[in-house]
């Protein structure tokens, strides 16, 4: 059975990706700082902090083989930039970017020895364009500068690693989702949908087809790409 490792497995998108992975005959290690107690076939839930290099290293020593890593864990903050503390800034960077680097570094050590593997990093449309504060209104959830900076870093980290590890038959790509419907403020949903040519926010289902393609052999010649799945949000 193929082996996959996903971070942020307890989140909305992570759970959706796990369903896709198990449907495609993967055994999945799901890493997060907390998990539901619900048991899922062919999924092992592991509580770990991806910014803890020593603990991540111990975990990887117990994995003999790894076909796929999905760096999905991510956090954000919503206070205005002028009120941002350095601790907040560092925390977002540590989880979103440093955590992605730590996981990728350990995974690459195994994949280089195997001479094959795939890494998929989860970016964001806000890693390639700034958010528009007008669509957030009074929701209190305006996207932050540090989230955008961290996701831009993830996208460029993807391109760097892809170009340097292609010779080992390792494909590394990123997926940058647009806004995914998740009980947001109604006004925000209307505003966001208005700015999206597709006329709606995404569902987790919209993200699954790209993942299915990237984990298959059909993607073996795709490397260093950032695939935007946003209903056209970044097109204008």
Active site residues: 147
Beta strand extents in the chain (DSSP E only): 2-7, 26-32, 43-47, 68-71, 117-122, 170-177, 226-229
Q: What is the dihedral of CA 116, 5, 54, 158, to 10 degrees?
A: 60
Which DSSP string corresponds to 115-157? T-EEEEEE--GGGTS---GGGTTTSS-PPPHHHHHHHHHHHHH
Please state, in angstroms and rounded to a whole number, the distance separating the CA atoms of residues 21 and 167: 26
Q: Which two tokens stand for residue 219?
A: 């993607």
Please state, in angstroms and rounded to a whole number, the distance separating the CA atoms of residues 125 and 81: 19
């Amino acid at each position: 059975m193929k082996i996959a490792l996903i971070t942020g497995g307890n989140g909305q998108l992570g759970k959706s990706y796990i369903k896709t992975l198990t449907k495609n005959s993967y055994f999945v290690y799901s890493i997060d700082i907390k998990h539901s107690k619900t048991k899922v076939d062919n999924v092992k839930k592991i509580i770990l902090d991806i910014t803890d290099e020593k603990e991540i290293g111990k975990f990887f020593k117990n994995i003999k083989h790894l076909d796929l890593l999905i760096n999905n864990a991510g956090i954000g903050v919503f206070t205005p930039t002028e009120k941002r503390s350095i601790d907040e800034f560092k925390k977002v960077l540590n989880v979103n970017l440093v955590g992605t680097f730590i996981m990728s570094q350990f995974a690459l050590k195994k994949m280089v020895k195997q001479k094959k593997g795939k890494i998929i990093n989860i970016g964001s449309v806000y890693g390639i364009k700034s958010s528009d504060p007008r669509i957030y209104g009074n929701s209190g959830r305006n996207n932050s500068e540090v989230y955008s900076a961290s996701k831009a870093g993830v996208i460029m980290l993807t391109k760097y690693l892809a170009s340097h590890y292609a010779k080992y038959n390792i494909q590394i790509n990123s997926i940058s989702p647009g806004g995914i419907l998740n009980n947001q403020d109604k006004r925000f949903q209307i505003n966001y949908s208005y700015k999206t040519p597709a006329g709606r926010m995404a569902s987790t289902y919209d993200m699954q087809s790209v993942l299915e393609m990237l984990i298959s052999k059909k993607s073996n010649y795709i490397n260093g790409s950032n695939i935007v799945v946003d209903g056209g949000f970044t097109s204008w």
